[in-house]
C-alpha cells in the first residue's frame, strides 16, 4: 500500500545529490500525484478556453470542466454547489470574508475573536477590518501545551463578539481545535464562525452540515492540487447579503455607466478569468483522496505522526512543542538546543530531508510559546515511518556539525 501511494508522486521519485528525497513540508504545500498532473494537462490539451465566455463547443467544454469541478468540491464539503466559490487560495478566501462581511457588518463596540494559533492569513485581514470599523480584535489563548481550554472559550466569546475566526488545525503544532465547542458557544451568543481549513482539508473529512460553521476556507495546493486554486464555502443567506469583494468581468448581471448589479451566487464572488485548470486539478485531487478513503488517510497519517513524536522525543537536545494528546493532524514543531532552526533545516537538507524553519506565518503564536522560530516536520499520506527514520538520523548530526561534539 505504502509503495503504491508513494509511487504515484513523480517528484517523490527524484533524488537529491544521490539521496532519496524525504519531503516533510506538506503543510507548506503537498506534492501532486500523477493523476492530478494528468487532469491539468488534459484540460489544457483538450478543453482550454475561457469558462463562461465562448458559446462555441470548446468554450462550453471549458465551462463544463470548471463547473464540474465545483460540483466535485461541493460534494467533498457536502454543500450546495452555489455556496462554493473558487478563489486563489485560503488567504484570498479569508480576505474576502473579512472585507466583504466584516466591513458591512462590524462597528465600534463589536468584537472579533481569533485564537493565538492563527496563521497570519487568518489574523491580518481581521486586524485590518477591525481597524477600519472600530471593532476590537481579541484572542483566545492556549496553554503552553497549545490546547484551548473550555474556560477560555466561555470567557472570551461573549455577546459583544460578532464573529469567531479560527483555525481547524494549527499549522505549527498540528493540533486539531475544538470546533464543536467553539461553534456552540459562538452561536449561543449570536456570533458567526469562520473556520480556516487550510491545514485540515488534507487530513480530515470536512462536512459543512456537521461542522456547524458559517464560512470555511481552504487552499487546493495543500491537498495535492495545483497552486493558485482555493475555496470559500459560506452559507447561502450570508453570501447573498454580502457585497462583492472584487469587481469586474463575469460577476455582473448588468452594467450601466454609473453602476452595476451583481450576478447570482457563485459568480458574484468570481470576478475575472478564473483558474479553470486549477479547479480541474482540485477536482482530480479530491477524487484521488476519495479513492484512497479519508479513514485510510487518517489511519496512515496517525501511524506516522505517533511514530515521529515518539522517535523525536528520544533524540537528545530536541525539544518538541505542543502535546501528542488529543486529536492531531499533520505537523510537529521542534527545536534543537543551541542551533538556529535555519541551520537545522540546512543541515537536514544536506541529507535531502526537507523541513520548514522560521516563524511559519504565526509570529504571535511563537511569541506566546516563548520563541522566535522553530522547525516543523509535516506529513501527508505519502509519508512513511522510513521518512521519520531519515529525519531522526539526520537530526542526530546537527549538533556535531555545529561543533558541540554531542
Ligand X SMILES: Cc1ncc(COP(=O)(O)O)c(C=O)c1O
Residues near ligand X (CB under 6 A) are 89-91, 119, 121-122, 167, 171, 196, 198-199, 219
Alpha carbons within 13 A on the beta-carbon side of 134: 3
Distance in Å, CB of 217 to ligand X, minimum: 7
Judged by CB, which is closer to ligand X: 33, or 230? 230
Longest dimension (CA), the chain: 74
Provide DSSP, 168-192.
Answer: SB-TTT-BBP-HHHHHHHHHHTT-E
Judged by CB, which is closer to ligand X: 31, or 89? 89
Judged by CB, which is closer to ligand X: 231, or 284? 231
Instruction: With CA atoms as reference, report the closest residue to 33 among 229, 289, 218.
Output: 289
Judged by CB, which is closer to ligand X: 279, or 347? 279
**What CA–CA distance (Å, rounded) separates 77 from 211?**
10
Distance in Å, CB of 357 to ligand X, minimum: 14
Instruction: With CA atoms as reference, report the closest residue to 265 among 308, 232, 228.
Output: 232
Instruction: Confirm if 230 and 88 have CB atoms less than 8 A apart.
Output: yes
**What CA–CA distance (Å, rounded) separates 378 from 331?**
4
CB atoms near residue 63 (< 10 Å): 19
SS (H, E, C) 250-298: CCEEEECCCCEEECCCCHHHCCCCCCHHHHHHHHHHHHHHHHHCHHHHH
Distance in Å, CB of 43 to ligand X, minimum: 21
**What CA–CA distance (Å, rounded) separates 101 from 76?**
25
Give the three cell numbers for residue 6: 508513494
Distance in Å, CB of 29 to ligand X, minimum: 8
Distance in Å, CB of 199 to ligand X, minimum: 5
Instruction: Confirm if 237 and 8 have CB atoms less than 8 A apart.
Output: no
Q: Clarify whether 193 is annotated catalytic.
A: no
Judged by CB, which is closer to ligand X: 92, or 267? 92
Judged by CB, which is closer to ligand X: 196, or 270? 196
Catalytic one of 197, 354, 361, 374: 361
Instruction: Confirm if 204 and 169 have CB atoms less than 8 A apart.
Output: yes
Distance in Å, CB of 161 to ligand X, minimum: 21
Q: Give the catalytic positions in this structure.
A: 361
Amino acid at each position: 500500500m505504502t509503495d503504491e501511494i508513494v509511487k504515484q508522486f513523480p517528484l517523490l521519485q527524484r533524488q537529491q545529490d544521490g539521496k532519496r528525497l524525504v519531503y516533510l513540508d506538506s503543510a507548506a504545500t503537498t506534492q501532486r500525484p500523477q493523476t492530478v498532473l494528468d487532469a491539468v494537462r488534459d484540460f489544457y490539451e483538450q478543453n482550454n478556453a475561457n469558462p463562461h465566455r465562448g458559446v462555441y463547443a470548446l468554450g462550453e467544454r471549458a465551462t463544463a470542466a470548471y463547473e464540474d469541478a465545483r460540483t466535485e468540491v461541493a460534494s467533498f464539503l457536502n454543500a450546495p454547489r452555489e455556496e462554493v466559490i473558487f478563489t486563489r487560495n485560503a488567504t484570498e478566501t479569508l480576505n474576502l470574508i473579512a472585507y466583504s462581511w466584516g466591513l458591512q457588518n462590524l462597528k465600534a463596540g463589536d468584537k472579533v475573536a481569533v485564537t493565538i494559533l492563527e496563521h497570519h492569513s487568518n489574523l491580518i485581514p481581521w486586524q485590518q477590518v477591525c481597524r477600519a470599523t472600530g471593532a476590537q480584535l481579541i484572542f483566545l489563548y492556549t496553554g503552553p501545551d497549545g490546547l484551548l481550554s473550555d474556560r477560555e472559550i466561555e470567557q472570551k466569546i461573549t455577546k459583544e463578539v460578532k464573529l469567531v475566526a479560527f483555525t481547524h488545525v494549527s499549522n505549527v503544532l498540528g493540533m486539531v481545535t475544538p470546533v464543536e465547542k467553539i461553534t456552540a458557544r459562538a452561536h449561543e451568543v449570536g456570533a458567526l464562525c469562520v473556520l480556516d481549513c487550510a491545514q485540515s482539508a488534507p487530513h480530515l473529512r470536512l462536512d459543512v452540515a456537521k461542522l456547524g460553521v458559517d464560512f470555511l476556507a481552504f487552499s487546493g495546493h495543500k491537498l495535492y492540487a495545483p497552486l493558485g486554486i482555493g475555496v470559500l464555502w459560506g452559507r447561502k443567506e450570508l453570501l447573498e447579503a454580502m457585497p462583492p469583494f472584487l469587481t469586474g468581468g463575469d460577476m455582473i448581471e448588468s452594467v450601466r455607466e454609473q453602476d452595476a448589479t451583481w450576478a447570482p451566487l457563485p459568480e458574484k464572488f468570481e470576478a475575472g478569468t478564473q483558474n479553470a485548470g486549477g479547479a480541474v486539478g482540485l477536482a482530480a485531487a479530491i477524487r484521488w483522496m476519495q479513492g484512497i478513503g479519508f479513514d485510510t488517510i487518517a489511519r496512515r497519517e496517525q501511524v506516522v505522526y505517533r511514530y515521529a513524536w515518539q522517535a523525536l522525543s528520544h533524540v537528545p537536545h530536541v525539544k518538541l512543542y505542543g502535546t501528542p494528546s488529543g486529536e492531531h493532524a499533520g505537523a510537529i514543531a521542534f527545536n534543537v538546543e543551541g542551533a538556529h532552526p535555519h541551520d537545522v533545516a540546512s543541515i537536514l537538507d544536506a541529507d535531502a530531508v526537507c523541513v520548514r524553519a522560521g516563524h511559519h506565518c504565526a509570529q504571535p503564536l511563537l511569541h506566546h510559546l516563548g520563541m522566535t522560530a522553530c522547525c516543523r516536520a509535516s506529513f501527508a499520506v505519502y509519508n512513511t515511518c522510513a521518512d521519520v527514520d531519515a529525519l531522526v538520523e539526520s537530526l542526530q548530526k546537527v549538533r556535531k556539525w555545529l561543533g558541540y561534539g554531542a
